[in-house]
């Protein structure tokens, strides 16, 4: 007797077919290590002083490229975050692409490209508080405090942005790769290097506030 339902997923079989279209499509999906725990994103963003944003833009754009097969350049995409004004357009494009992917799957999501642009703009502005004066003049205690406060504010915004968006992305990947059991992305060398650089930035910011000799060295 011919089966009416797929033994793997329970999906109704077509009258003229013995194979399940849903499982066949899932089997053909690329196995992309696309999940990242919210704890990991929060921890890495906080410890790196927000510069984890670069790695996150790189790796999530790579996941998009590897899964969809679209032409995309993750490294250059992440580096555009250093380009004034243009970086905001790339942030909007990044969020818009994933919003469209989730909408195509009829998934509710809280990702807002406009809010992401505003968040990155404010975060960048806070991260650069006092930087120009520090480069071309003496670093006073007041300036050092302002720079540390700016770094803290910038980091908080990045943590909020990446954690909220990643929660949506994890739900998307678990939906579209339901048969592949999507795995977590490994910690890469670039990610580790950004973490070390971020930890140094925290050290530098704190020492500038609490050590007069460090400010004048």
Q: Identify the pLDDT of residue 183.
A: 76
Residue identified by tokens 């996941």 is 63
Asked whether the CA dihedral 145, 150, 155, 156 is positive or negative, the reply is positive
Mean pLDDT, the chain, as a whole number?
Answer: 86
In this structure, are residues 215 and 145 in contact, taking their beta carbons and an 8 Å threshold?
no
Residue 138 has pLDDT above 60, yes or no: yes
Q: In the structure, what pLDDT confidence band is assigned to residue 153 with cuts at 50, 70 and 90?
A: very high
3-state secondary structure of 35: strand
180 confidence band (pLDDT: 50, 70, 90): low
Separation of alpha carbons 174 and 160, rounded Å: 22
State the residue for tokens 């993750």.
74
Domain positions in the chain are 1-30, 35-216
Q: Is the pLDDT assigned to residue 25 strictly greater than 50?
A: no
pLDDT higher at 136 or 146 = 146
Residue labelled with tokens 């494009």: 93
4 pLDDT above the threshold of 70:
no
What 3-state DSSP class applies to 184? Answer: strand
Cβ contact 37:167 at 8 Å: no
Range with lowest mean pLDDT among 1-10, 62-71, 146-155:
1-10
pTM: 0.82
- Given a contact cutoff of 8 angstroms between Cβ atoms, the answer to whether 101 and 172 are in contact is yes
């Amino acid at each position: 007797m011919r089966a009416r339902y797929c033994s793997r997923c329970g999906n109704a079989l077509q009258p003229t077919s013995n194979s399940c279209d849903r499982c066949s499509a899932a089997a053909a999906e690329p196995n992309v290590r696309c999940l990242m725990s919210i704890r990991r994103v929060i921890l890495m963003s906080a410890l790196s002083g927000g510069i984890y944003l670069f790695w996150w833009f790189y790796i999530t754009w790579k996941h998009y490229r590897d899964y969809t097969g679209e032409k995309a350049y993750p490294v250059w995409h992440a580096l555009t975050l250093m380009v004034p004004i243009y970086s905001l357009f790339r942030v909007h494009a990044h969020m818009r692409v994933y919003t469209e992917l989730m909408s195509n799957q009829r998934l509710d999501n809280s990702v807002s490209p406009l809010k992401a642009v505003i968040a990155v703009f404010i975060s960048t502005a806070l991260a650069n508080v006092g930087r120009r004066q520090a480069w071309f003049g003496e670093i006073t205690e007041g300036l050092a405090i302002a720079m540390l406060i700016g770094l803290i504010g910038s980091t908080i915004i990045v943590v909020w942005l990446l954690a909220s968006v990643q929660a949506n992305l994890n739900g998307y990947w678990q939906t579209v790769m339901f048969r592949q059991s999507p795995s977590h992305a490994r910690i890469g060398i670039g990610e580790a290097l950004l973490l070390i650089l971020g930890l140094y930035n925290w050290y530098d910011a704190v020492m500038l506030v609490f050590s007069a000799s460090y400010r004048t060295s």
